[in-house]
Amino acid sequence: MEFPAALFPSYFGAGPPQEEGGPAPVAGWGEHGQVLEAGLGRRQAETTFVPRRGGMGESWEPADAAAVPLLPPNASCWVPSVAPQDILYRGVLRRKLQAGKYGAALDFTKQLSHFFVDHPEDVFGSLGQLLHQNFYLGNSKLRVSVRPAVTMPSPTPPLAAAIPSLCPLSSLQRQARDCTIRMTALREVIDRLEARRSCPRQHLVPRLRWFSHLSRDWLFEVPLGLLADCVHEDLLLQWASLLFDDSPTGGALAWLPPKDVGARTGRLVYPGGQAMNHLCILPCGVSLGREGRGHVALPLADTPDFQDVVLEELPCAQGSPAQFELNGRIRQVAAARVDGEDFVGVRSDYHCGVWSVSGRTGATPTPLQVIRTSVPASCLTVSPHLPGELAVCTQSGAIYLWNVETGLQRLRHDPQTMFFRDDSPWRWSDFTAHPRVLSCADRTGLQCLDTRAPERCHFDLFKVGEEAGCQQGERVVLPMYMGRAYSSQHLVTTQFSVYVLDERLPLVPVLKWAHMMKAPPLFAHLTPGGPGRSHKVLLGTSRTQELLLLQYRGEKRGSGVSVGLGGSRSACQLAGPPQKLHSIASCLQHLPAQLPHRHCLLQQRLGAPAAGLAAALQEDGLRESLLVFQLSEAGDCPPEPCASSQPSPAPQEAKRPEEPCASPQPSPAAALRYRRWMKALSKGCGDPPQRTRPRTFGQKRLFTRKELEEPSAPSTLHGQARQRLRQAMQDGGRIQRWDPPPPALPQPLEPAVGDTDPLSTRLTASWGWDWERWWEERTSFNMAQRQQALRERRRRQKRARGRHSLSASFTSSITYQSELSELSDAAPPPLSPGPPREV
């Protein structure tokens, strides 16, 4: 609680940030920041100094070569996330766009056409049915067999109006022809367009133009303009969340440490299930225990009168580990321990709930209350001071203090940001050292307000501006109360830096460091260190899955040495260099080898953005280990010990950190886990599920009448080909080569001996999969070979002149083919210039 006797020197300015913000990839290195006298003893011979950054920290080393999965893969969740190439325009127009204005372009037309193709029922449903009769998909001339009310296309209402009730047959015929569109022609036009892909716009065919002009207004179920607006809006949203998604801020993973210091089984709270909408509370530790089935019945509290937030029914627990199904994707899980009881707050977009988990092992988590918000909630934090108290923020700019017993209290409702204008509706709130004072944040800074008089009593804690030496464009990403280390300190991360603030010295950060992470850190976790030890802060990003371990300290110094004046706590310092921990994607290279497409899928899955971060400190005699859990958006749970180490018992005496031996191979236990995880993954969700029933089309719509005409007499060849096709379809395989195994060769059309009909020889060759050679032969390329073959043939013909049987002629042709192929094997013939391809 003591305030440091002296702080590091720093300038204090007011106003907007002066420094120009830019990517500074190494901004966090090489600086001591400032120094402060550490000796404090004026009577000592030499004064010693401590740096703000760069002092010695504890040495932590990764325990394994990569992250190790803790839980089996979330089999039910396999929706690959959107990638930029899905949304962005990458076609012909790219170069054009580049020549003109710069910037990414959303591929709007592609999305819209996907929509038409994927959801035809939704787009054209009823009108398609209505107009069904007015589209003709055949190729032949339109004929109308006039048997009224039986086969005549029932005209659509507007058309029906045009048709007199009683009309002569010829006119009826004409009418029907007039109001029926021949789709085949249209299809041909489209096909031709497809073929000339390079220029989709320039050669608009009049027929198509006419058709689209005619049907644009009424053909679509949803008015096209409206639909386009919606699709475009959604694309923009998708794009925005692809670049930066702040909904998982805070992280959806929490670790509830064991109640007794000696106990080893804590609990992990994480989302699971198909839509990440199951709250799982898993007791875990050295031994993964089992949780009994829990059931919940609790009276609902009174519904308070708030337009924004209403109380809802409570979810029920099911199965083990204790699992609760919620009706929304879990965005954030927050937890705090008050009076030996853990309170877990869960935020989804429109619902927030609070559970209590008592410290006893085997006790079931109890849901306490649920609220529903009309605007998505952006923050939920649990009070570390008072049981059952939480802070909730919504995107409408409202901040509530939520007490399970007394209900909700709205502290502020301001859609505007605090210090300057920023469009982001994101708000955050957390607790402070005073249980009645809440911090509230938006992208521009933090304020503290007294819940007893929120309008009057507040002060600015952090401002994006010159006060904290911010850069232009810098915004608050995640504030966190660090009461477990020092009761009055807060952590604030921005996309550039991480700040430590003290409530007692508002606006001036007591520590600032450029974290150099590739994406804004949305997750943070504090592991307080004991007396004389450094506190460990973990920062995590979502999109890039980065994990960074920082150490800082500001401990009491020289408690034995009485130093004249007042406080003896030293100012906050960053200890040791920051350290990168293994991310989920790092285990990819240690997983068993996969087929390329599976590898790709796996890569995609493991590379999914991170959704949460938690850590557990385990002490085992002198050896301490820090288990770091990271959760991915695909619901793959938390890979296990990321960092573990033997910190030297006295950190002050820590020697220079040794170069960590980069162990390229994971331990056998880890390898086993990888294998198990892979097995479970391939079992649970190997390939994305196929459509249950493939769509079938009537062939009559696809082929013209002429094409469908049965040959007058189906030959044996026909029959055999059909049989093969059928066989292949039954087996689900495909016909790779038309040349069947030698004994099952189809009987070719019987060529009369000496028949030199070129067509039949060509067909024979093509059936025998030697068509190319035949062509070469034809084009007289391999003259020598050809002559040789001819000589051979002549010799054989001479020999076989006696027996004029069909089979004999066939075998001879076989030998001829095989001989030829042997020859070609010996010396590959040069390619003939552009033989026509086999179709």
Partner 1 sequence: MDGFLEEEEEEAAVAATKKKAAVGSALLPALHLPFLPPHLYQPASSHEYKLNFKKSKEMCLSYIQDAMLQKQWKKAAEFLTFYIESLEKDFSTEYVSPSEMIWRIGTEILCHHSRSSMKEFNSFTEQMKSLGVKRYLKVCLEHTFHLLCNGLIDEAYQNLSLSESWRFGEQTVIQDKEMKLIKAYKGLLDYYNWSKQKNILLEHGQDGFEDLSVEQEMHSYFRKAAVNLKEIIKIPGVWDLFVKCYVDLLEFYGDHNEARQVLNEYAYNSKFPANPNAHVYLYQFLKRHGESKKSLVSALKILHEVVPSHELMIDFNIMLQKSKKRKRRRLGLEVIFAVLDYAGWKENVKAWSCLAKQVKQIVISEKHLDWIQQEWNSRKDWWPAFHFSRYSAKRNWQENESLSYEKALVAGILLGKGCKYFKYVSHQGCKAQVKRFRILKKFVNKHNPVYLRISGLSDCSVQP
Restricting to residues 501-530, which ones interact with partner 1 according to CB under 8 A? Answer: 504-508, 516-520
Least distance between partner 1 and beta carbon 69 (Å): 21
634 forms part of the interface with partner 1 (CB under 8 A)? no
Answer yes or no: are the C-beta atoms of 335 and 251 closer than 8 Å.
Answer: no
Which position among 240, 561, 672, 735 is part of the footprint of partner 1 (CB under 8 A)? 240
Least distance between partner 1 and beta carbon 227 (Å): 21
Dihedral (CA of 600, 602, 603, 609) sign: positive
Which position among 79, 82, 92, 104 is part of the footprint of partner 1 (CB under 8 A)? 104
Choose between 12 and 218: whose C-beta lies nearer to partner 1.
12
> What does the alpha-carbon distance between residue 420 and residue 561 come to, in Å, rounded to a whole number?
47
Least distance between partner 1 and beta carbon 63 (Å): 14
Choose between 127 and 514: whose C-beta lies nearer to partner 1.
514
Question: Which window, 252-260, 296-304, 350-358, 485-493, contacts partner 1 (CB under 8 A)?
Answer: 485-493
Which position among 124, 239, 775, 810 is part of the footprint of partner 1 (CB under 8 A)? 239
Question: Strand, helix or coil at 523?
Answer: strand
- As beta bridge partners, residue 513 has 498
Alpha helix stretches (DSSP H) within 179-223: 183-195, 206-215
21 forms part of the interface with partner 1 (CB under 8 A)? yes
Question: Strand, helix or coil at 376?
Answer: coil
Choose between 249 and 527: whose C-beta lies nearer to partner 1.
249
> What does the alpha-carbon distance between residue 821 and residue 828 come to, in Å, rounded to a whole number?
10
Binding to partner 1 (CB under 8 A) within 722-751 occurs at: none
Query: What backbone phi and psi angles, to 5 degrees, belong to 726?
Result: -65, -45
18 forms part of the interface with partner 1 (CB under 8 A)? yes
Choose between 88 and 227: whose C-beta lies nearer to partner 1.
88
Which position among 92, 236, 725, 749 is part of the footprint of partner 1 (CB under 8 A)? 236
Choose between 214 and 240: whose C-beta lies nearer to partner 1.
240
Least distance between partner 1 and beta carbon 97 (Å): 6
Answer yes or no: are the C-beta atoms of 757 and 751 closer than 8 Å.
Answer: yes
365 to 384: interface string for partner 1, x by CB under 8 A: -------------------x
Answer yes or no: are the C-beta atoms of 351 and 312 closer than 8 Å.
Answer: yes
140 to 179: interface string for partner 1, x by CB under 8 A: ----------------------------------------
Choose between 510 and 685: whose C-beta lies nearer to partner 1.
510
Choose between 26 and 713: whose C-beta lies nearer to partner 1.
26
Strand order in the sheet with 643-645: 610-620, 623-632, 643-645
Question: CA angle, 556 as apex, 553 and 562 as ends, to 5°?
Answer: 150
556 forms part of the interface with partner 1 (CB under 8 A)? no
Question: Quick one: residue 54, left, alpha or beta (phi over 0 = left, psi -120 to 50 = alpha)?
Answer: left
Which position among 16, 80, 120, 435 is part of the footprint of partner 1 (CB under 8 A)? 435
- Six-digit token string for 179: 């109001």
> What does the alpha-carbon distance between residue 142 and residue 172 come to, in Å, rounded to a whole number?
13
Binding to partner 1 (CB under 8 A) within 569-608 occurs at: 577-580
Question: Which window, 123-131, 178-186, 191-199, 484-492, contacts partner 1 (CB under 8 A)?
Answer: 484-492
Residues, the chain, total? 839
Choose between 338 and 823: whose C-beta lies nearer to partner 1.
338
Answer yes or no: are the C-beta atoms of 252 and 631 closer than 8 Å.
Answer: yes
385 forms part of the interface with partner 1 (CB under 8 A)? yes
Nearest-10 Cα torsion for 69, 71, 73, 74: -140
Binding-residue total with partner 1 (CB under 8 A): 112
Least distance between partner 1 and beta carbon 428 (Å): 14
Inter-residue long-range contacts of 526-533, CB under 8 Å, 24+ positions, other chains counted? 526/480, 526/482, 526/484, 526/485, 526/491, 527/615, 527/617, 527/626, 528/484, 528/485, 529/485, 529/553, 531/555, 531/556, 532/650, 532/651, 532/652, 533/58, 533/647, 533/651
Least distance between partner 1 and beta carbon 311 (Å): 21
What is the residue type of 511? L
23 forms part of the interface with partner 1 (CB under 8 A)? yes
Binding to partner 1 (CB under 8 A) within 653-692 occurs at: 656-660, 662
Least distance between partner 1 and beta carbon 471 (Å): 9
Binding to partner 1 (CB under 8 A) within 285-344 occurs at: 339-341
Question: CA angle, 332 as apex, 330 and 337 as ends, to 5°?
Answer: 125
Binding to partner 1 (CB under 8 A) within 525-554 occurs at: 548
> What does the alpha-carbon distance between residue 252 and residue 614 come to, in Å, rounded to a whole number?
9
Choose between 21 and 72: whose C-beta lies nearer to partner 1.
21
Dihedral (CA of 771, 774, 779, 783) sign: positive
> What does the alpha-carbon distance between residue 102 and residue 87 come to, in Å, rounded to a whole number?
17
Least distance between partner 1 and beta carbon 55 (Å): 8
- Six-digit token string for 28: 């966090």
Least distance between partner 1 and beta carbon 162 (Å): 48
Which position among 16, 29, 559, 814 is part of the footprint of partner 1 (CB under 8 A)? 29
> What does the alpha-carbon distance between residue 626 and residue 526 come to, in Å, rounded to a whole number?
12
Least distance between partner 1 and beta carbon 234 (Å): 14
